[in-house]
Amino acid sequence: MRTTYREAVRMALREALARDPRVFLMGEDVGRYGGTYAVSRGLLEEFGPERVRDTPLSESTFVGAGIGAAMAGMRPIVEVMTVNFSLLCLDQIVNNAALLRHMSGGQVAVPLVIRMATGAGRQVAAQHSHSLEGWYAHIPGIKVVAPATIEDARGMLAAALADPDPVLVFEHAALYGLEGELAEDAGPVDIARAAVRRPGRDVSLVAYGGTLGKALAAAEALAREGVEAEVLDLRVLRPLDVEAILASVRRTRRAVVVDEGWRTGSLSAEVSARIMEGAFYDLDAPVARVCSAEVPIPYPRHLEEAALPQPEAIAAAARRLVGHG
């Protein structure tokens, strides 16, 4: 069936609420307003205010409540409106959700799902254009996933709810309108492994989330020039599927890592280091990175586009590695 990324997430939420009475959704504007990105529209009317809960504007409070509910046996889905607002509940995520199993000697589980919109490209200026998922990928005790396709937007939630530990789901806000086909019987997807979205032999383009489409567009442009780029969708940012990354690089012997985060201290730096540690002698060229410019994301459209990774920059980096540019 033809659908959108937004509707795929809504399908996943509806199915989770219908399947398990322990599941409930809470966050700012998820109920009467239908969600800031219209993802939860209609769910309040369908499931009622006990299952779809509007919260005060206090991220630390409602994420903390979600942690407590998870510890008590519920299966909460907490929506943080955008990733920059997650900084207001960083202590709850880092010092409570991620650590309680360890600090209790395995006696306490926190089966919590936190969803949040991430990324730029929508002209919402510097405070609402962060890509901070790499920060969370640094933290032991949580799993971090980034659905980049409609299938993953639909299927990652069920898999996350089945996980006994906290799972953070980063939905790139620019993808909500993405249209595509989804199988009628689509179900949970693997949240442990990366996926090759396009096979190739000359260079690996390693991407995730909002950069996957740009990497695929770059691969199309390269193919017209006779360069076959493999596109690897990381999908899971913690724990990284290092085996898949190294397998791709060993096939192509070159790698471009694409990351909407800033270059300094980024997830791309971690991926690059893993490649150098595990496949150094398989490389025919140094690992290249295409990241956002080291500036607050600008508001004007032309400056925002210039600051973000774009297909042209990805293709140019690949050409340099294969000696075509």
What is the CATH architecture of 195-322?
Answer: 3-Layer(aba) Sandwich (3.40)
Provide the 3-class DSSP secondary structure of residue 2: strand
Active site residues: 59, 128
Query: Among 21-35, 141-155, 174-188, 209-223, whose mean pLDDT is lowest?
Result: 174-188
At residue 184, the pLDDT reads: 83
Other residues' Cβ atoms within 10 Å of the Cβ of residue 251: 15
Residues facing residue 176 across a β-bridge? none
User: Is residue 324's pLDDT more than 70?
Assistant: no
- Alpha carbons 133 and 118: distance in angstroms, whole number: 8
Residues facing residue 233 across a β-bridge? 195, 207
Residue type for position 115: R
Q: Which of these, 214, 129, 149, 316, lies nearest to 206 by C-alpha position? A: 214
At residue 211, the pLDDT reads: 98
At residue 297, the pLDDT reads: 97
The predicted-structure confidence for 163-199, as pLDDT tens digits, reads as follows 999 999 999 999 999 999 998 888 889 999 999 999 9
Backbone angles phi, psi at 236, to 5 degrees: -115, 120
- Alpha carbons 25 and 32: distance in angstroms, whole number: 13
Size of the chain in residues: 325
- Alpha carbons 220 and 263: distance in angstroms, whole number: 25
Query: Can you give the pTM of this predicted structure?
Result: 0.96
Q: How confident is the model at residue 291 (pLDDT cuts 50, 70, 90)?
A: very high
Residue type for position 270: E
Of all residues in the chain, the percent with pLDDT exceeding 90 is 97
How many CA atoms, within 13 angstroms, populate the side-chain half-sphere of residue 12?
Answer: 30
Q: Which of these, 262, 250, 249, 268, lies nearest to 294 by C-alpha position? A: 262
CATH superfamily of the 2-181 domain: Thiamin diphosphate (ThDP)-binding fold, Pyr/PP domains (3.40.50.970)
- Alpha carbons 110 and 267: distance in angstroms, whole number: 25
Residues facing residue 2 across a β-bridge? 181
**Mean pLDDT, the chain, integer:** 97
Q: Which of these, 171, 208, 177, lies nearest to 83 by C-alpha position? A: 171
User: Is residue 325's pLDDT more than 60?
Assistant: no
Q: Where are the alpha helices (DSSP H) in the chain?
A: 5-19, 43-47, 59-71, 90-91, 100-103, 133-136, 150-161, 212-223, 242-252, 267-279, 301-307, 311-322
- Alpha carbons 316 and 82: distance in angstroms, whole number: 31
The predicted-structure confidence for 226-259, as pLDDT tens digits, reads as follows 999 999 999 999 999 999 999 999 999 999 999 9
- Alpha carbons 39 and 323: distance in angstroms, whole number: 45
- Alpha carbons 143 and 244: distance in angstroms, whole number: 17
Provide the 3-class DSSP secondary structure of residue 158: helix
Comma-separated ranges of CATH 3.40.50.920 domains in the chain: 195-322
> Which helix H or strand E contains 58, and what residues bound it?
none
Q: Which of these, 108, 105, 88, 73, lies nearest to 27 by C-alpha position? A: 88
Q: Where are the alpha helices (DSSP H) in 99-240?
A: 100-103, 133-136, 150-161, 212-223
Specify whether the CB–CB gap between 258 and 282 falls below 8 A. no
Comma-separated ranges of CATH 3.40.50.970 domains in the chain: 2-181
The predicted-structure confidence for 75-116, as pLDDT tens digits, reads as follows 999 999 999 999 999 999 999 999 999 999 999 999 999 999
